[in-house]
Amino acid sequence: MTDLFDLTGKVALVTGGSRGLGYQMVKAFAGHGADIFITSRKIEGCEKVAAEVKAMGRRAATHACNVANWNELDGLVAAAYAAFGKIDILVNNAGSSPLAPSSLDTPEQLFDRIVALNFKGPFRLMSLVGSRMAEGDGGTIINISSAGALRPRPQIAPYAGAKAALNAITEAFAFEYGPKVRVNTISPGRFLTDVSKAWSEEHKLNGTAALRRSGRPEEIVTAAIYLATSSSSFTTRSVVRVYGGIA
C-alpha cells in the first residue's frame, strides 16, 4: 500500500517547535520524511531539537524569533527560505495562556501580549508564507488553536478570544490563498506538556471530558500529519477537535 502520510521532500516550519506539542509535531514530521525549520524565542532549545532531527537523517535549521513581535517575522521567513528554498508546511503552534484573577483585573500589557502571540503573530506569518505558497507550488497551513476558543472560561477570556479569532482567520486565509493552499486548525484540549507541571492533580485528570483524562503529547501528531499530507487534499477551513470530548 502507498504510504498515505509520506512527507519526503517537504519542508515544515514549526513555531514553538522546541517543546510541548510543537516538539511532538517536529519529530513526527521528520519521522515521515520532512525537513524541519524550528523556531522559538530561545535558540538553545531549537538547536537541541534540530540535532535530534538530523540524527533521524533529515535536514534541520533554526532561528530565534518572538512570534508576538510583528517586526521579527519577516526575518524568520527570510531565514527559512534561505535555508531550504521553500516552505511546504507552516504550523502556527507558538502560544501561551496565562491566567488573570478576573477580566476586570486583566492588565492591558498582559492582554496585548496574549493577543499578539496567539493571534497577531499567526496572522502575519500566514500572510507572509501563505502568499508565497500561493504564488508557487502551494502548501498547507496548520493553526494550533485551543478548546478554550470553543468552550471559553473565566480567567482565560483574552486567550479564548485570541484563539477564536485564529479560528476565524483560518477560514479567511483558506479562501484568500486557495485552491493551492489549504488552511486548517487543530483545536487541542488539555495535554500533559511542560505547562501541566503547574496543574493540580484534579485538573490533570480532566474528569469532565468524555475520555476522562488529559491527552498525551504524542496524541496530537496523527491529526497534524493528516493535515500536513496530501491525504487531506480535500480538507480546508476545518477545525479538527483533538480534545478528548471536553464538556
CATH number of the domain at 211, please.
3.40.50.720
Q: Which one from 159, 177, 226, 243 is the annotated catalytic residue?
A: 159
How far lies 98's CA from each of 18, 83, 246, in Å? 19, 34, 20
How many domains is the chain partitioned into structurally? 1
Q: Is the pLDDT of residue 2 over 80?
A: no
Cα 52 to Cα 3: distance, rounded to the nearest angstrom? 23
Long-range contacts at 42-50 (CB < 8 A, ≥ 24 apart): 42/18, 45/18, 45/19, 46/17, 46/18, 48/18, 49/17, 49/18, 49/23
Paired strand residues for 15: 39
In a domain, 38, yes or no: yes
In a domain, 26, yes or no: yes
In a domain, 61, yes or no: yes
In a domain, 175, yes or no: yes
- Whether 151 and 246 have beta carbons less than 8 Å apart is answered as yes
Structure confidence by residue, pLDDT tens digits, 85-119: 999 999 999 999 888 889 999 999 999 999 999 99
Q: Is the pLDDT of residue 241 over 90?
A: yes
Residue span of the structural domain in which 197 resides: 11-242
Cα 241 to Cα 178: distance, rounded to the nearest angstrom? 22
Average pLDDT, the chain: 94
In a domain, 153, yes or no: yes
Cα 114 to Cα 116: distance, rounded to the nearest angstrom? 6
Cα 91 to Cα 185: distance, rounded to the nearest angstrom? 10
How many helices, marked H, and strands, marked E, lie in the chain?
8, 7
User: Predicted confidence band at 19 (pLDDT cuts at 50, 70, 90)?
Assistant: very high
Q: Give the distance from CA 234 to its chain's centroid.
A: 20
Q: What is the CA radius of gyration of the chain?
A: 17
- Whether 50 and 61 have beta carbons less than 8 Å apart is answered as yes
In a domain, 3, yes or no: no
Cα 189 to Cα 228: distance, rounded to the nearest angstrom? 20
C-alpha cell at 29: 514530521
Alpha carbon distance, N-terminus to C-terminus of the chain? 39
pLDDT on residue 191: 85
User: Side chain identity at 152, as an amino acid letter?
Assistant: P
In a domain, 48, yes or no: yes
pLDDT on residue 1: 46
Tally of CB atoms within 10 A around 41: 16
The answer to whether residue 243 is catalytic is no
Structure confidence by residue, pLDDT tens digits, 151-195: 888 889 999 999 999 999 999 999 999 999 999 999 998 888 777
Q: Are strands 89-92 and 35-40 parallel, antiparallel or unpaired?
A: unpaired
In a domain, 6, yes or no: no
**Apex CA 94: angle with CA 211 and CA 235, to 5°?**
65
